[in-house]
Structures are given as C-alpha cells and as structure tokens.
Homo-oligomer: A and B are copies of this chain.
Amino acid sequence: MSASPLSSPNARLLGRPGGRAALDTPALVVDRAALDRNIAAMAAHVRAAGIALRPHVKTHKSVVIARRQVAAGALGVSCVTLGEAEIMVRANIPGVHVTSPATTAAKIARLVALARSPHRGLSAVVDHPDNVAALSVALRDAPAPLAVFVDVDAGQGRTGCTFDAAPKLAQVVRAAPGLAFAGIQAYAGHLQHVPARAERRERTLRLADRLRDLLQALARDGLPASVVTGGGTGTFDLDPEARIFTELQVGSYVFMDVEYRRALTDGRNALPFETALFVATAVVSVNQPDYVVTDAGLKSFATDGPPPEPARGAPPGSRYEFFGDEHGKLFVPVGATRPALGSVIECVTPHCDPTVNLHDLYHVVDRDTLVELWPVDARGKR
C-alpha cells in the first residue's frame, strides 16, 4: 500500500485558495467536477441503452473512483491484473471481473484465494482448455463455483480463443468442477482508436455479427451466454447499437487523454467526455532561447503515445517534448510570455492509463483549490 496521502508535501495545500498553482510537482491532477460529469454521462448512456456497466479499473486504479462509478450505477468493475482485483475486493467493490487469464501457479493461487473470500460476484476468463483444467483442479473443492467467461479474440490477437474454438471451450468450462460458465468476453482493443467513425462503426457491427452467430451456436448447444462483456471508450456508443454486449468495460472515459482526443476527433467525432486528468509540472531552467525546461519527463508521463499537451498556465500554442527521466521542454510560441522560473503549468496526459500508473496520488481539484488527495491504490499491482 502507498503511504498515507497526508504525508504528501501537498497535503498542506488542502482547502487553501490557489493551492492548485502551488502544487509540489510533478503532480497528477484530477478535476473532480469533470470526472463526475464523465461518470454521470457514461452511466446515463448505458442506462438509456438498457445495458450494464463494468468500467475498467486499469485506467484509474483507484478505490474512490471505482466507488463513484458504482454509486452512479455500475454493477462492478473490470480488472486486468489480480493485484487490481485484490485491491477492489478488499475495498468491497462488488462484481470484480478479471479480464486476463491467470495461467501460472502463483496467479491461480491468488485467484483461488479471491474466489474463497466472502466477496460476491467475482469472475474470471479462460481462453485455453489447459487453463480450464488447471483452474478446475485448484477450485474443485471451493464452496461455490467460480464464474468463468470464455474470452474470444475479437480481432486484436492478444488474449482470447478463436470464434471456432469458443463453443467447445464453453463446453469444457461447463464440464469442469469448480467452474461455472458465465458468458462471453470479447474486447476489441484494435477498434478503440480507429479515427474515422464510419470505419469504427462498420467494423464494430461486423464483430457484432460474428458474436451473434457464436451466441446462437452456444444457445443451440444448450449453453446460452446471458452475459457478453467487452467494449471500450472508443466504441462506447457503437457497442450498444450492436445489441450484443450486455455490459461495457469502458475505462478511459473517466479522464480522456491526448490519444483519445486526437484519434477520435477526426471527422468531428469528438467523444462527449471532458479532459479531467492533468500532470502539473514546474519550470526548473530558463537558460535556453527556444524553450524552458520543466520537471516532468518520462517518469511522470507515459511515452507510448503522443506527447503531453500543455494546458493551464502555458501560453496557447505551447508544445511539450520529452527530455529524459525527469525533464521536459516547453516550447512557447514566438511573442508569447515564457513561464517564469518556478511557475507551474499543467499538461493533458498522453495515454492516461500508464501515466496514472507512474503516480502515487491524485491531487483532486475544484477549480483553483486542492480539495482532496486520493491514493492510486493499485499502482504497480500485478
């Protein structure tokens, strides 16, 4: 577990006007009102569509945010690692679903420990009969069977069995002591960032057709899949249209990031979610003619996506470049006033999930004021 948020040097700023601009940097900043509007917008969206929500914890790794999602109507949360699931179970978040297979002896032992805990609604996935056999041996004496989804490869090629193999695998799960067939998982990670909405829609609906055929085959075999879980922020409105998914595993909608903002605004397809996440960074050197140097580098921002986008405190049109572990370059447009030595600016995060994973604390702001500190509970938890 992380240290208490109150041991942060920023705790002294709580409630003080102007605290946001005085944060000890680099600091992960969340705009609470924007976060809550995003949570409410997605909750309203799925309610209108008549489906359920099991938002993905990998984005925020936070018990407080998971609770807000559940309070807004989510039936549970999705977790990619057992470490995330352990944190959520310990915090009494309901309906914890683990989206990646547990295949080593160590991981299976941890999954079994969770399954034997008093937590209600745990579920897991399998994509191979050998894994079903291993789980069944470990769980055959459990007080109740573990709900297991057959993970089908939606085209990304990451985890999941082929569509052809899925009906057989579902039968293997049904026959396995200690396991209960719970439905189908299909996560189309490869479609989330397809920029043109028309193509994103067409490919999402084509995937839905394949899933519909699979569900019919399962029903013919006497194994109706009452739950179909999947979907992401990039296809949040297309997945319900396809009328296949009974619940969505959306994650990034709570924060949004440069990646989602850029990828999906091509052709006026901006998502109806606001940027709620930033990293605050301070100017540490002003000796260069073309840029100032800030104190947030590749240990504060994920580097797998586009660069961070300067926002609050930076002149419009500023540009950020990575400059090693703990530094960045901030280029300011010609004629604009350069931020002074020691001043704090904020950047929109490039790829929100791995950026959050670099930080221990959310600095929760309401306009100019630091109002709360929330731990990133599952940071680094595997």
Contacts and interface: CB of A to CB of B under 8 A. Distances in A.
A46 interface: no
B283 A103 contact: yes
Contacts of A354: 298-299, 325
Instruction: Give the size range of A's interface with the partner.
Output: 35 or more
A360 B83 CA distance: 13
Contacts of A322: 304
A326 interface: yes
Contacts of A159: 284-285, 287, 293, 327
B325 A353 contact: yes
Given A22-B105, A158-B327, A159-B327, 17 more contacts: A9-B109, A9-B110, A10-B106, A24-B107, A80-B326, A128-B341, A158-B323, A158-B324, A159-B284, A159-B285, A298-B354, A299-B353, A300-B382, A303-B304, A325-B354, A325-B357, A359-B380
A104 interface: yes
A323 B284 CA distance: 35
A254 B373 CA distance: 36
A48 interface: no
Given A326-B81, A341-B130, A285 B105 contact: no
Contacts of A131: 341-342
- Residue among A25, A27, A322 with most chain B CB within 10 A: A25
B324 A157 contact: no
Interface in A1-48: 1, 3, 9-10, 22-27
Q: Is the interface of A mostly helix, strand, loop or mixed?
A: loop
Interface in A275-316: 282-288, 293, 295, 298-300, 302-304
Nearest to A113: B9
How many copies of this chain sit in the oligomeric assembly?
A: 2
A326 B100 contact: yes
A239 interface: no
A111 to B, nearest CB: 12
A160 interface: yes
Interface string A66-83: 000000000000001100
Contacts of A81: 326
A159 to B, nearest CB: 4
A158 B282 contact: no
5 contacts: A9-B110, A22-B106, A100-B327, A158-B327, A295-B382
Contact of A284 (B101, B286, B287, B304): B101
Contacts of A341: 103, 128, 130-131
Nearest to A303: B304
